[in-house]
Amino acid sequence: NAARLQALKDVEAYVPPTVSFVGEEAPGQVFGENVFNKVVMKQRLPKSVYKSVIATIEHGVKLDPLVADAVASAMKDWALEKGATHYAHVFYPLTGLTAEKHDSFLEPESDGTAIAEFAGKTLVQGEPDASSFPNGGLRNTFEARGYTGWDVTSPAYVLENPNGNTLCIPTVFISMTGEALDHKTPLLRSQQAMGEQAERILKLFGHTNLNHVVSFCGPEQEYFLVDRHFFLARPDLLNAGRTLFGAKPPKGQEFDDHYFGAIPERVLGFMMDTERELFKLGIPAKTRHNEVAPGQFEIAPMFERGNVASDHQQLLMTTFKTIAKKHGMEILFHEKPFSGVNGSGKHVNFSLGNNELGSLFVPGDNPHDNAQFLVFCAATIRAVHLYGGLLRASVASASNDHRLGANEAPPAIISIFLGDQLADIFDQIAKGSLTSSKGKGKMTIGVDTLPVLPTDPGDRNRTSPFAFTGNRFEFRAPGSLQTVAAPMTTINTIMADSLDYIANKLEAAVAEGTDFDAAVQTLLTEIITEHGAVVFNGNGYSAEWPIEAEKRGLKNLKTTLDALPELITEPALELFQKYKVFNHREMHSRYEIGLEQYILTVGVEARLTAEIGATVILPAAVRYQTEVAVNVGALKAVGVEADTTALDEVSAPISELRAALATLKSALAAELPHDAWAEAKHAQDELLPAMLAVRAAADALEEIVADDLWPLPTYQEMLYVL
Ligand code: ADP
Ligand code: MG
């Protein structure tokens, strides 16, 4: 217990750093200060080079290799002026983390001196040793090399560090054979596929000379903060990112007094500090507020192009980690750090469009634009209906399993929420006649305008996993720890499929001479009739919904192991192959890595549970039992009738804890066939329940054992002391 009591003293004595930017540059001035952005490029690059790079960024034109040297040289000069000594190719391996390989700019000369060098080929390609990143069988051990390749569409930046600054270059990470070993490659491929199909549809609607259509993503990140002294005294938090023990505090979140309440001063200081760092990196941090649970907060940067938002999201997480430490806190991105308390998600707000057209999910103010809007909505309805299982699989992880399907996060059943008015419109379309609103006359596609749809982006239906929010769809199932790249890749790909389907139909109708508006109306009716079953505007937490969903034929993939096999079904393999996002080998590798990560996560947690249970909690309980027993003996010795209730009370859960630990240990020692699926099933069906049994006994003891003997910081302490 020394660790806990010491932590309490240290927390008490801790003085957080004060944060003030008074007298320093205004936020507007620091924004993008460390980014090699368009403004910097325009200043520093020869005009023709600048134009060429912009053509790649804005219009998806293939990068002209001849410009690389010029860009590299300008980038190097700029970075050196910013105090950079090294450059790093930053990539996103399938661990979900961010990886970097740093190299010095200095190149030795033959005369023994060294000069700062950065050639175009070094910018464009790197060669980190890839052998220790998960690859799911894509790389033979004798060929451990992987390549990193510059992603021109995501700006390079300088990362500040007291030990020297680094020029960071966002890159893809691929194997010798060109297969994706990362999250960025498929995201870029899927964006391309989706853009091409969307452009076909826009052409049908009369748009010419289109700018590239891309996907936009606005991620909302939820997280917990705990005092670092407590964090370090909790080996479970430290090693697994979540508490494996801990009784529910007497005061939970029932009071609803934290949500949107005043932000504690210390946390506000941390937020101001991080926002400034994010601004320097060009990350548009916007809203910040308390979340539902005590100690829980949210940050939502402004939406950006999908792959930039994804890179920024990763960078945001690492920045948060560093700065939380500086403020004596640890940030928890785990989906469920505290059981019985709300978990954390990372809502992915998705739309598609470009800088000319804005979001294509915005209803227009004329009949023509409305028809276009309804087509893109219909494409989404079809995509989510056909591929709900893939969406579920894109957010499957051991940690997110604790959240999905609990009554706080969207259910594991993937349905779509349209809001009353849009749902009503599609209802009317399904019935073959479109009425603008009740009582008014019939409305025909291409002739009448839609009623004004509410654009309030508030959480009107928090229970839906995929909700229309006025100008975008919000995918709420992604977990707080996950990269947004995987769900974005899936959304882009299934949208590409639906848009392709629609474009084929409409192009054929036009070729046959059918009236375009009539063709659109027929198509919308067909789609909503076939795929309307996925639309659900009711309460996703209700007990009736799973029953109703089953009748509708919607999948309810409760756990990671239910979801992962979706990745390797025949239709899924064909889908991703068709749009050149993943070939079959790459899909199989993602599936294998999903299993591998699951086994590793549960395995670590199970071993930690066994260890903490046996070496931390059991000894404390036994000490208390001894104290009580000594007391009983002492009373008896002086002839007082001793009440042994207290002794029985502590002895029963101690026996339960011993028994549960024995079961867990034997489950951990089980001989398993050397097969990932069998190991994962064992983790799910044997280890997880055995861990829960250990926890139940330990949590019962927490409420019995004398407080001064209890070894781990309690929920009460961790959640309410900031
Ligand atoms: P809420 O709490 O209502 O969900 P937030 O303000 O917390 O709203 O987050 C909304 C997120 O959606 C922000 O990241 C915002 O930039 C993003 N967003 C807004 N419009 C779009 C759009 N057209 N496409 C994608 N994301 C968007
Ligand atoms: Mg929100």
448 phi and psi angles, rounded to 5 deg = -100, 160
Six token digits for residue 379 = 């494409």
d(CA 84, CA 204): 49
Residue 142 reports pLDDT greater than 60: no
d(CA 679, CA 342): 29
Q: Please report the pLDDT score of residue 16 as a whole number.
A: 87
Q: How confident is the model at residue 377 (pLDDT cuts 50, 70, 90)?
A: very high
Domain 31-182 part of CATH 3.10.20.70: yes
The sign of the dihedral angle between the CA atoms of 201, 205, 211, 213 is negative
Q: Please report the pLDDT score of residue 288 as a whole number.
A: 77
Ligand 1 atom with least separation from CA of 469: 3
Backbone torsion region of residue 279, taken as left when φ is above 0, otherwise alpha when ψ lies between -120 and 50, otherwise beta: alpha
CB contact set of 462 (below 8 Å; sequence gap of 6+)? 476
Burial bucket for residue 663 (CB in 10 Å: 0-12, 13-18, 19+): middle
Residue 139 reports pLDDT greater than 90: no
Q: Please report the pLDDT score of residue 199 as a whole number.
A: 96
CATH architecture of the domain covering 191-582: 2-Layer Sandwich (3.30)
Residue pair 247/710 in contact (Cβ under 8 Å)? The answer is no
Which ligand neighbours the alpha carbon of 222 most closely?
2
Q: How confident is the model at residue 326 (pLDDT cuts 50, 70, 90)?
A: very high
Q: How confident is the model at residue 454 (pLDDT cuts 50, 70, 90)?
A: low
Question: What DSSP state is assigned to residue 412?
Answer: S
Task: Give the 3-state secondary structure of residue 384.
Answer: helix
Q: Please report the pLDDT score of residue 502 as a whole number.
A: 98
Residue 437 reports pLDDT greater than 70: no
Pocket of ligand 1 (CB under 6 A): 216, 218, 220, 287, 300-303, 347, 349-351, 359, 457-459, 471-472
Average pLDDT over residues 30-52: 95
Instruction: State which of 216, 286, 307, 349 you would mutate to test the pocket of ligand 1, scoring each by most atoms of that ligand within 8 A of its C-beta.
Output: 349
Residue pair 391/415 in contact (Cβ under 8 Å)? The answer is no
Mean pLDDT, rounded, of the chain: 90
CA angle (401, 406, 409) in 5-degree steps: 85
97-106, 383-392, 531-540: range with highest mean pLDDT: 383-392
Distance 457 CA to ligand 1 centre (A): 7
Burial bucket for residue 441 (CB in 10 Å: 0-12, 13-18, 19+): exposed
Residue 125 reports pLDDT greater than 60: yes
Distance 521 CA to ligand 2 centre (A): 34
Question: What DSSP state is assigned to residue 248?
Answer: P
Angle 367-394/570-578 helices, nearest 10 degrees? 130
Distance 659 CA to ligand 1 centre (A): 49
Nearest-CA residue for atom 5 of ligand 1: 300
d(CA 293, CA 632): 42
Residue pair 329/270 in contact (Cβ under 8 Å)? The answer is yes
Q: What is the CA radius of gyration of the chain?
A: 28
Ligand 1 atom with least separation from CA of 471: 23
d(CA 646, CA 650): 6
The CATH number given to 597-720 is 1.20.120.1560
The one-letter amino acid at 349 = N
Six token digits for residue 442 = 């019939």
E-strand spans in 380-520?
Answer: 416-417, 434-435, 442-443, 466-468, 473-475
* Lowest-pLDDT choice from 10-19, 282-291, 665-674: 282-291
The interface pTM score, or ipTM, of the predicted complex is: 0.96
Percent of the chain's residues with pLDDT above 90: 68
Residue with tokens 């900031």: 722
Q: Please report the pLDDT score of residue 440 as a whole number.
A: 45
Six token digits for residue 99 = 């990886």
Distance 226 CA to ligand 2 centre (A): 21
Residue with tokens 């010095």: 104
Average pLDDT over residues 692-713: 96
The length of the chain is 722
Q: Please report the pLDDT score of residue 102 as a whole number.
A: 86
Could you tell me the residue ranges of all domains in the chain?
A: 31-182, 191-582, 597-720
Which ligand neighbours the alpha carbon of 300 most closely?
1
Distance 287 CA to ligand 1 centre (A): 10
Q: Please report the pLDDT score of residue 207 as a whole number.
A: 93
Residue pair 95/134 in contact (Cβ under 8 Å)? The answer is yes
102-106, 144-148, 236-240: range with highest mean pLDDT: 236-240
Task: Give the 3-state secondary structure of residue 453.
Answer: coil
475 phi and psi angles, rounded to 5 deg = -90, 115
Residue 82 reports pLDDT greater than 70: yes
Average pLDDT over residues 296-311: 95
Q: How confident is the model at residue 441 (pLDDT cuts 50, 70, 90)?
A: very low
E-strand spans in 399-506?
Answer: 416-417, 434-435, 442-443, 466-468, 473-475
Q: Please report the pLDDT score of residue 364 as a whole number.
A: 82
d(CA 536, CA 540): 8
Fold match flag (31-182 vs 191-582): no
The sign of the dihedral angle between the CA atoms of 149, 154, 155, 157 is negative
DSSP string computed for 6-18: HHHHHHHH--PPP
Q: Please report the pLDDT score of residue 355 as a whole number.
A: 86
Average pLDDT over residues 418-439: 74
pLDDT digits (tens, 9 = 90+) for 615-658: 999 999 999 999 999 999 999 999 998 888 989 999 999 999 99
pLDDT digits (tens, 9 = 90+) for 84-124: 999 999 999 988 889 888 888 888 778 877 788 888 888 98
130-139, 212-221, 420-429: range with highest mean pLDDT: 212-221
Six token digits for residue 472 = 């975008």
d(CA 420, CA 417): 9
Task: Give the 3-state secondary structure of residue 298.
Answer: strand
Q: Please report the pLDDT score of residue 1 as a whole number.
A: 65
640 phi and psi angles, rounded to 5 deg = -90, 135
